[in-house]
Structure 1
Amino acid sequence: MKSSISPERAKLCLRDSVRQIKSINKSLTKKLLCFLGGTLLLSSVQAQQKIEPFFIGDRIPDLPLHRIINYKNSTATLSSFGDKLIILDFWSIHCSSCIEQFPQEDSLQHILGDKLQFILLTLDPKEKVTSFLKHFDSSHHTKFSLPIIYSDSTICCLFRHHAVPHYVWLAPNGAFLAQTEQQFITPQIVEQVSNRVVGLQKQMRKEHFSEVMLTYPPPGKKLIEVIRQNKILIDNIR
């Protein structure tokens, strides 16, 4: 099923989007909106031939998520969170810069919960993460609510990075919008980007876009099995 929005109209939409948010970090928002519009409006699903790291502009498949705590289920997929901007937060219990961001991320999740989903991923084992959470909740007099994937050895390799915290921004159709450091996790930037992501998604549904363009592509069997086994993709860490 073909889109009813022409490439010319898509470009105008992107141009207007950039004008609307000039007040925030220009380089990041232009990059996000460029990849968001280009992938949501104009891209096609490509078959996954082999397991390789993802790059900005790729369509990310509907990755299975295992070993989740602080969530209603211990397993899920990216699509389980609906038509939202997903921000994957790669962190460690020994990373003070990571932990300093948690109160703000938790607050943003409560405020923008209908448009945004933070998902935290760490190499640390469940015992250490649960112990950390108890201490965090006690010291902050609150219950930390964000879902956490512990003992992750695979997804961290698919989104290559050399330090934490590291953030990956994904649109509801799997568009890999950006990867950033913590200085971009601000209320202003996150709200502006999530508004545009959800706004374009709603517009595309209203225009009766094919579900193929609106949802995460299905993952290949090999990728599903590698993630299930939680394999370390050594060849992809460079």
Structure 2
Amino acid sequence: MKKLTILIVLALLCLKIPLIAQENQILSALKIGDTIPDINLTHILNYPSKKAKLSDFKGKVIILDFWATHCAPCIASFPKLDSVQRKLGNEVQILSITNETEAAIKTFLERYPAKYGPMTTVPQITEDKVLHRLFPHRSIPHYIWISKEGTVEAILGGFQFKPEKVEKFLKEGGLGELPVKIDIDGNIPLFSSELLPKAKLEDYRVFFKGRLEGIGAGTFPRRSANTIGICWTNELLIDLFKMCGLKIISGFSDKSLVIQPKDSLQLFYQKGAMPESDWIYANDYSVDFIVPKRDSTSLFRQVLAYINSRAPYSANVVNRRLAHLELRVTDKKALLPTKSDLYKNTLYKKVPGSMIAGPTRNFVSWFNEHFPDLPLLVDRTELSSPVTIRVEQQVSSVRELNDLLSEQGLMIVPSNKQVEMLVVSPNPKL
């Protein structure tokens, strides 16, 4: 009996050894020109079997699509990938790769048709570790192109993947000169390195036009012992202006924005001019701006001035006389007590709702978004401390809202004074 047990244990160990060997042989990342090993693929959905090997697709170009359920651009690319797979399936195999659980992806795929359209037919490799170690990356979508011979031919970002490039690759056997996607760490000054003496840094600013592959659209606050700043990556110019406006003008919303003219191809996509993805690729902007801490109060005005000095459009804060609404305090004693220091705002999700321990400008921003057809609301409360405001029933007019606010020491009133507006216009200097 003992002998039989020992034999079984040895047999199990032998089965496990190839898996351990596979884990160990992929510790180093692959680069263009390297040959990919014949690895085991497991936890597969949208495929006849739960398991496969890369060699099962021998003789085909393999495109690995790294994605996640939280990545909107990844999901938006599914129809494009599906179209390529259906059209060129005899010569190309697309494999979508995620490290999320099989159960999570199965649920996602079950809900996919109702939310996004026709079901994707591309095989889904879930719970992956091996391919993520072979091809480490920070941003997604992340594409790896592997030749029929098993060599890594291209490492591309989301905007670089185009169906026509796949057909060109099949016909010509190459993609020509394409930039290799290199992941960018947004937590350090853009394109800096360990050689940058950060402790001595007093000022750092860079500005890019065009999509930066290797990093998604994002916001990265900059803060050190001596400096403060902000970094925005892969945002449209109009959105950079809006983000500055949110920091400069209290209660800023789209109602605070004046654009002249509105038909600029550099601010807004115009259907038919070119594919929208190409336009975004060309008109994304990134800015990284760091200054000494003593300049913290004027940080976003400085950022806006810097963008204005580089971009084809400029945005300026201008006082204009305008028919608008004002939020005022009518009775400080009636203001709701704010017992918690933890900010919470459920108004954006639903009404009835409340804003707890928040600045009045956040309530103003909610109003301007919730009532797009009403005049601009401006904060005139002069309250510096957080407040609590409750909207405990559905409201469709200022009058109905005032019935609730009056019991909380607040009131919305009409006005015709000057208000701060963000005026965007062609840059006369460029």
TM-score, scaled relative to structure 1: 0.59
Provide the C-alpha distance between the structure 2 equivalents of 1:54 and 1:196, rounded to a whole number of angstroms.
Answer: 24
Is 1:155 matched with 2:114? no
Of Structure 1 and Structure 2, the greater helix share is in 1
> Which of 91, 105, 124 lines up with 2:100 in the alignment?
124
Q: Please name the residue that 1:189 is paired with.
A: 165
Provide the C-alpha distance between the structure 2 equivalents of 1:191 and 1:93, rounded to a whole number of angstroms.
Answer: 28
Q: CA 1:192/1:137 → structure 2, altered by over 3 Å: closer, same or farther?
A: same
Provide the C-alpha distance between the structure 2 equivalents of 1:49 and 1:188, rounded to a whole number of angstroms.
Answer: 35
Q: How does 1:65-76 map to 2 (within 5 A)?
A: 65-76=41-52
Q: Please name the residue that 2:246 is paired with.
A: none
Q: Is the 8 A contact 1:167 1:179 kept in 2?
A: yes
Is 1:102 matched with 2:63? no
> Which of 120, 131, 151 lines up with 1:144 in the alignment?
120
Provide the C-alpha distance between the structure 1 equivalents of 2:26 and 2:94, rounded to a whole number of angstroms.
Answer: 28
1:138 Cα deviation from its structure 2 partner: 2.5
Q: Is the 8 A contact 2:57 2:93 kept in 1?
A: yes
Q: Is the 8 A contact 2:26 2:134 kept in 1?
A: no
Q: Please name the residue that 2:144 is paired with.
A: 168
Is 1:177 matched with 2:153? yes
Q: Is the 8 A contact 2:66 2:142 kept in 1?
A: yes
Provide the C-alpha distance between the structure 2 equivalents of 1:179 and 1:138, rounded to a whole number of angstroms.
Answer: 32
Q: How does 1:18-33 map to 2 (within 5 A)?
A: none
Higher RCO (Cα < 8 Å, 6 or more apart): 1
Of Structure 1 and Structure 2, the greater strand share is in 2
Provide the C-alpha distance between the structure 2 equivalents of 1:129 and 1:181, rounded to a whole number of angstroms.
Answer: 22
SS at match of 2:166: helix
Q: Is the 8 A contact 1:121 1:150 kept in 2?
A: yes
**Runs of 4+ more than 6 Å apart:** none
Deviation readout 1:14-35 (Å, 9 max, x if unpaired): xxxxxxxxxxxxxxxxxxxxxx
Q: Is the 8 A contact 1:85 1:197 kept in 2?
A: no
Provide the C-alpha distance between the structure 1 equivalents of 2:132 and 2:167, rounded to a whole number of angstroms.
Answer: 25
Deviation readout 1:150-169 (Å, 9 max, x if unpaired): 11122111112111110000
1:197 Cα deviation from its structure 2 partner: 4.1
> After alignment, is 183-192 or 97-106 more displaced?
183-192
1:127 Cα deviation from its structure 2 partner: 1.5
SS at match of 2:77: helix
Q: Is the 8 A contact 2:61 2:146 kept in 1?
A: yes
Provide the C-alpha distance between the structure 2 equivalents of 1:124 and 1:152, rounded to a whole number of angstroms.
Answer: 8
Is 1:60 matched with 2:42? no
> Which of 134, 157, 163 lines up with 2:110 in the alignment?
134
Q: CA 1:194/1:184 → structure 2, altered by over 3 Å: closer, same or farther?
A: farther
Provide the C-alpha distance between the structure 2 equivalents of 1:178 and 1:75, rounded to a whole number of angstroms.
Answer: 26
Q: CA 1:173/1:132 → structure 2, altered by over 3 Å: closer, same or farther?
A: same
> Which of 45, 50, 55 lines up with 1:79 in the alignment?
55
Deviation readout 1:96-116 (Å, 9 max, x if unpaired): 010010001001100111111
Identity %: 34
1:137 Cα deviation from its structure 2 partner: 2.0
SS at match of 1:108: helix
Q: Is the 8 A contact 1:115 1:195 kept in 2?
A: no
Q: Is the 8 A contact 1:169 1:179 kept in 2?
A: yes
1:143 Cα deviation from its structure 2 partner: 2.6
Deviation readout 1:126-177 (Å, 9 max, x if unpaired): 1210111111122344232110111112211111211111000001221110
Q: Is the 8 A contact 1:167 1:180 kept in 2?
A: yes
Structure 1: gaps spanning 5 or more residues: 1-47, 199-238
Q: Which structure is larger by alpha-carbon Rg, 1 or 2?
A: 2
Provide the C-alpha distance between the structure 1 equivalents of 2:116 and 2:70, rounded to a whole number of angstroms.
Answer: 18
Q: Is the 8 A contact 1:87 1:170 kept in 2?
A: yes
Provide the C-alpha distance between the structure 2 equivalents of 1:64 and 1:146, rounded to a whole number of angstroms.
Answer: 18
Structure 2: gaps spanning 5 or more residues: 1-23, 175-430
Provide the C-alpha distance between the structure 2 equivalents of 1:195 and 1:169, rounded to a whole number of angstroms.
Answer: 15
Provide the C-alpha distance between the structure 1 equivalents of 2:117 and 2:159, rounded to a whole number of angstroms.
Answer: 25
